[in-house]
């Protein structure tokens, strides 16, 4: 059994992970962390982890665990990564909107312990990423690519990390230039004719949508649509727990969630 710490334990994903923990007997929750001053600090995690209380002590959580899962605000992630590196503890990061410096801080953990950054923990989404890459390999740039995503009104970043991962999968499948050179985010005004090879990404926000992602390959005479819809956060939290259990058994280095799924 591997000992698990959850950073962001009172958030949507943290709570969902605790609720689904019983389906993963190979994991035992030993620490739950929130930011200092968070109203949940001092509260019990719940029946899935009897005796575990949410604290603000990140260092103690890292010492106690074998693997940490981080769903905190992006600015807090480098501190947690540094602690995991210092104590050679595995780290799985699901936080999106990491800056280049924050991402580099996480990847540096790989020198001391296994580390993984996953834009989306859902098994279905990661199968979708593999399918999108294969489709992009087979379809040339005569097929225009449009990616849309929709999330609940509370999501802070746009586009979603998953939408960006899907765009990168298209670019990688085609062997294209870096995404920054061929991506378009939204449209407004007199945009002119759509350039060949452009990868467009659009973000929608509203209601309580957990996460919808669509990739369209549109050519003259046909459209191929590859889609994923999350109807509950449990698909994300269960994927995170599955990835954490796998990551805790790996050697130091930077790992991809596709590895844990055999993709």
Q: How many Å from the N-terminal Cα to the C-terminal Cα in the chain? A: 25
**Same structural domain, 166 and 184:** yes
Q: Return d(Cα 130, Cα 228) in angstroms, integer.
A: 13
Phi and psi of 41, rounded to 5°? -60, 130
> How many structural domains compose the chain?
2
227: left (phi over 0), alpha (psi -120 to 50) or beta: beta
**Same structural domain, 147 and 129:** yes
Q: Return d(Cα 197, Cα 200) in angstroms, integer.
A: 10
Under-50 pLDDT residues of the chain: none
**Same structural domain, 151 and 168:** yes
**Same structural domain, 26 and 61:** yes
**Same structural domain, 59 and 144:** no
Domain carrying residue 107: 2-117+233-260
**Same structural domain, 112 and 135:** no
Specify the CATH number for the domain of residue 144. 3.30.360.10
48-107 tens-digit pLDDT: 788 999 999 999 999 999 999 999 999 999 999 999 999 999 999 999 889 999 999 999
**Same structural domain, 86 and 179:** no
CB 12 within 8 A of CB 233: yes
Lookup result for tokens 């949410």: 54
**Same structural domain, 149 and 43:** no
**Same structural domain, 130 and 192:** yes
43: Cβ–Cβ under 8 A, 6 or more apart, which residues? 10, 53, 54
**Same structural domain, 160 and 224:** yes
pTM for this model (two decimals) = 0.83
Q: Return d(Cα 161, Cα 232) in angstroms, integer.
A: 18
Q: What is the pLDDT of residue 83?
A: 98
**Same structural domain, 10 and 31:** yes
**Same structural domain, 112 and 208:** no
Q: What is the pLDDT of residue 222?
A: 98
Mind telling me the catalytic residues?
151, 155
Specify the CATH number for the domain of residue 8. 3.40.50.720
For residue 26, the number of C-alpha atoms closer than 13 Å in the C-beta half-sphere is: 11
- Reference 28, options 10, 44, 55, 51; nearest CA is 51
């Amino acid at each position: 059994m591997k000992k698990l710490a959850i950073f962001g334990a009172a958030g949507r994903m943290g709570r969902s992970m605790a609720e689904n923990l019983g389906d993963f007997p190979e994991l035992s929750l030993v620490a739950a962390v929130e930011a200092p001053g968070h109203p949940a600090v001092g509260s019990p995690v719940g029946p899935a982890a009897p005796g575990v209380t949410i604290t603000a002590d990140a260092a103690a959580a890292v010492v106690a665990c074998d693997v940490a899962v981080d769903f905190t605000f992006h600015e807090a992630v480098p501190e947690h990564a540094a602690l995991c590196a210092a104590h050679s503890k595995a780290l799985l990061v699901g936080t999106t909107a990491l800056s280049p410096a924050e991402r580099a801080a996480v990847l540096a953990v790989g020198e001391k312990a296994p580390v993984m950054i996953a834009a989306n923990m859902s098994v279905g989404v990661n199968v979708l990423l593999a399918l999108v890459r294969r489709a992009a390999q087979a379809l040339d740039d005569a097929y225009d690519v449009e990616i849309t995503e929709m999330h609940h009104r509370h999501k802070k970043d746009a586009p979603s990390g998953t939408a960006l991962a899907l765009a990168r999968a298209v670019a990688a499948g085609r062997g294209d230039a870096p995404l920054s050179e061929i991506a378009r985010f939204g449209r407004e005004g007199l945009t002119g004719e759509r350039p060949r090879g452009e990868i467009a990404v659009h973000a929608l926000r509203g209601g309580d949508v957990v996460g919808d992602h669509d990739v369209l390959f549109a050519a003259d005479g046909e459209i191929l649509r590859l889609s994923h819809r999350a109807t509950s956060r449990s698909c994300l939290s269960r994927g995170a727990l599955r990835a954490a259990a796998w990551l805790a058994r790996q050697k130091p280095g930077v790992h991809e969630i596709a590895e844990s799924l055999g993709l």
